Homo-oligomer: A and B are copies of this chain.
Amino acid sequence: MKQGFRQIRAFLQAAESGSFTQAASALHVSQPALTVQIRQLEEELGVRLFDRDRRRVTLTPEGRNMLAPLQRILDEFQSAVAQAHDLAGLRRGRLTVAALPSIAAAWLPDLIRDFRAVHPGIEIRVADVPAARLQTLVRDEEADLGLGPWITRDRALRFEALLEDRMHVFFPAGHALTVSRQPTLKGLARYPHIVTSPGTSVREALHRALEDGGLDIEVACEVAYLSTAIGMVRAGLGIAILPLSTLSAASCQGLEHRPVANAHLRRRLGLITAKRKTPSPAARAFIAALQAARISRPCGT
């Protein structure tokens, strides 16, 4: 079983040309080479495919029977190659990005817009999930890559820091905090706070920071979405300690914000990829775009 596609191509071309000489020149091989290819195919199939007539070659009935099947095989192979090239050339494909909601809202829209402009054939799904699920998604190959904090040290995954998302305190314009350049957590503790739901990474970070400082805060309201929290702050219900990236995710008009001086309130966000798994062409391209964007727009807008 030593067959290839060259023999099939030779056969089809010869059948079409009705001449070994013409077929050979069409395929850019010498005529004896084509004769050999035909003979190899005939030996493999066990039937004579052509009647050699010195003047022209004509298909035998057996050869005519093989015409359609072999043609289809060749077509399907070329189609399969084309499909693979489409994937490799980013003309087609699917890409699933897992990202923290804040990142998904702040960073991804621009990135995806630019990416899709270049590669319109790539279908992109975004899984905006809490930090805890990020690594699971990537590990289980439900996402090609993750964007978020590096929480659990997972040997099957790789982390590459992209930006540091410092948390800021947001407050309405004119609030007493306006005067301080970098308030401490302790200084903020006496104001009522809008906080996100337990389980969100923002809440966890805030929780750890408070615990570490032995502080406690008054919770004015607990909301699920950053944009809701911003709305609450604007309405004067309280202040909120939120990622700086919130600026991009929600309309912060009429609000002021200051960095909070606390180590727990800065997260190193980055790219999470599977160590073993070869990234898909689309994933590679997206990661490249990601790293390019990191340079042009460093550390949280």
Contact = CB atoms under 8 A, between A and B. Distances in A.
Contacts of A80: 45, 66, 69-70, 73
A81 B44 contact: yes
A169 to B, nearest CB: 43
Contacts of A61: 94, 280
Contacts of A66: 80, 83-84
Nearest to A80: B69
Interface string A42-57: 0011111001010000
A229 B159 CA distance: 101
Contacts of A276: 51, 53
A183 interface: no
A234 to B, nearest CB: 44
A37 to B, nearest CB: 12
A47 B5 contact: no
Interface stretch (A85-93, A99-107, A241-249, A258-266): A85-93
Given A46-B84, A278-B48, A79 B69 contact: yes
A276 B58 CA distance: 10
B87 A47 contact: yes
Interface in A131-160: none
Copies in the complex: 2
B46 A88 contact: yes
A76 B69 CA distance: 7
Contacts of A79: 69
Contacts of A73: 73, 76-77, 80
Nearest to A281: B47
Nearest to A7: B4
B5 A60 contact: no
Contacts of A76: 69, 72-73, 76
A81 B88 CA distance: 32
A179 interface: no
Contacts of A277: 51, 60
27 contacts: A1-B6, A3-B4, A3-B5, A4-B5, A44-B81, A45-B84, A45-B88, A47-B84, A47-B281, A51-B277, A51-B278, A53-B276, A60-B277, A60-B280, A61-B280, A62-B88, A62-B281, A65-B87, A66-B83, A69-B76, A69-B79, A69-B80, A69-B83, A73-B76, A73-B77, A73-B80, A76-B76
Given A65-B87, A69-B83, A73-B77, 16 more contacts: A4-B4, A4-B5, A44-B81, A45-B88, A46-B85, A46-B89, A47-B88, A51-B277, A53-B276, A61-B94, A65-B84, A66-B83, A69-B79, A70-B80, A73-B76, A73-B80
> Which 10 A-B residue pairs are closest in the complex by CB-CB distance?
A4-B4, A46-B88, A45-B84, A69-B80, A48-B278, A47-B88, A47-B84, A51-B278, A73-B76, A53-B276
